Amino acid sequence: MVNEHVLTVSLEEFGLSKYEAQAYVALIAKGTISASELAYYSEIPRTKIYPTLLKLESKKLAIISKSKPIMCTAIAPEDAFDGIIHEQINKVNAMNTLISNLKKASEDSRKSRGSEEKRYFHLSANNVLSQLQTMIEGSKSSIKIMTDQWGFELLSECKGQLLSVLRRNLEVKVLVPSSQICSESFRVIPDGVEIRVSEITQNCFIFDETELLMINNENGKGAIFSSTDILGMNQEKMFSNIWKNATKTKALADMTKTEAQEIYKIIKIVNESGLLYLLDSAMISKKSEADMFKLLDKNGISLKTKTLDDVIEIIDAVMQITCSGHVNFEANTKNITVESKLNSGHSLPWVSILNGCLLKQGYKTRTVYQNNSNKGEKILIKISKN
């Protein structure tokens, strides 16, 4: 059975007084009864029952007889409250229309000013790390990061969160400046995070291609951009362009920082010094090898004092980074094989350097170039002593 107290309270929310609600509920429950009986069943004082009935009648919730004793009957609920319900519906519809009109007026105003409102949230320096950890943990598909040294150190404090998303097979890519190759922070970042090197000067964290966290390394403050139609698109495009040309670091992971920095410097010197014009003659002219050696030496890289094994290890790492290739030395045959998964002479500068090292150490060399459009290129260096 429906609780009459609950019904009474609910009717009060419709605008009835406590006595009016008690009287109406009693009438619904008892049917047509006298005023004195209503006072008894509704627990309303006898002095208050008649004024209460008159109010119910004026609200079209009850009918009062003209005879004595006074008899009263409740109007059926579906008839009594139909008008009230429609009145409330009309009020809600009017409010919705008002809100829609206000929203349209606001949008029209912004368009006339040539601007569109976007939301972002400031973060204090004390909250940046915890927010970064939360956003990493909550990522659904990908994380792309551009950091300077300060930002990379901050990221290294998120090892647990990075491990968590890696277990969910999320793609995590990080761009860092060359100073961070094999640094303490570099070694903390878990396997599975792909790190490449470029000259990065900002701290921008892109989550699921929809949300940005940007951090100021001067004061440690951050800002979250959740509406990233233009900003997010630009940052994604910038990241992709830098990533495509950035230096891979996987082959350097097990090296000392000094060794890794030297290899990065060799790659940078060769790539930036416009030596591609030497490629056509690199296999037949000893001068090209001498020029390569001179160029490296001029920029602080001396290979003269290194053993053949050391040089092969360096060029092998370079090949992995630049050409997805390898260098293999066959001790029995004294042959060196340089393989690259890329065609069009990508391996030739590094073969030229390797050949130059062999010549400096008193070896005679003969090179054989093989190109397979499907498998890449292979260069065989046959060695003999002078």
| Phi-psi category of residue 68: left, alpha or beta, with phi > 0 → left and psi -120 to 50 → alpha | beta
**One domain, residues 173 and 234:** yes
Predicted pLDDT at 277: 41
Q: Does the residue 87 lie in any domain?
A: no
**One domain, residues 282 and 226:** no
Predicted pLDDT at 160: 93
Predicted pLDDT at 1: 44
SS3 assignment, position 2: coil
Predicted pLDDT at 381: 87
Predicted pLDDT at 340: 87
Predicted pLDDT at 192: 92
Q: Which of 232, 248, 264 is the last residue of a domain?
A: 248
**One domain, residues 201 and 126:** yes
Q: Does the residue 225 lie in any domain?
A: yes
pTM for the structure as a whole: 0.63
Question: How many domains, the chain?
Answer: 3
Query: SS3 for 269-304, per residue?
Result: HHHHCCHHHHHHHCCCCHHHHHHHHHHHHHCCCCCC
SS3 assignment, position 170: coil
Predicted pLDDT at 120: 64
Dump pLDDT digits (tens) for 319-331: 898 888 899 888 7
**One domain, residues 237 and 271:** no
Residue 312 in contact with residue 296, Cβ under 8 Å?
no
Q: Residue 318: which of 299, 344, 342 has the closest Cα? A: 342
Low-confidence residues of the chain, pLDDT below 50? 1, 117, 274, 276-277, 279-284
Here the tokens at position 316 are: 């092998």
**One domain, residues 127 and 206:** yes
Predicted pLDDT at 350: 83
**One domain, residues 40 and 162:** no
**One domain, residues 269 and 221:** no
CATH code, domain carrying 141? 3.30.870.10
CATH code, domain carrying 292? 3.30.1380
Could you list the residue range(s) of the whole structural domain that residue 288 is in?
252-385
Predicted pLDDT at 274: 47
Predicted pLDDT at 280: 45
Q: Does the residue 216 lie in any domain?
A: yes
Q: Does the residue 61 lie in any domain?
A: yes
**One domain, residues 379 and 258:** yes
CATH code, domain carrying 48? 1.10.10.10
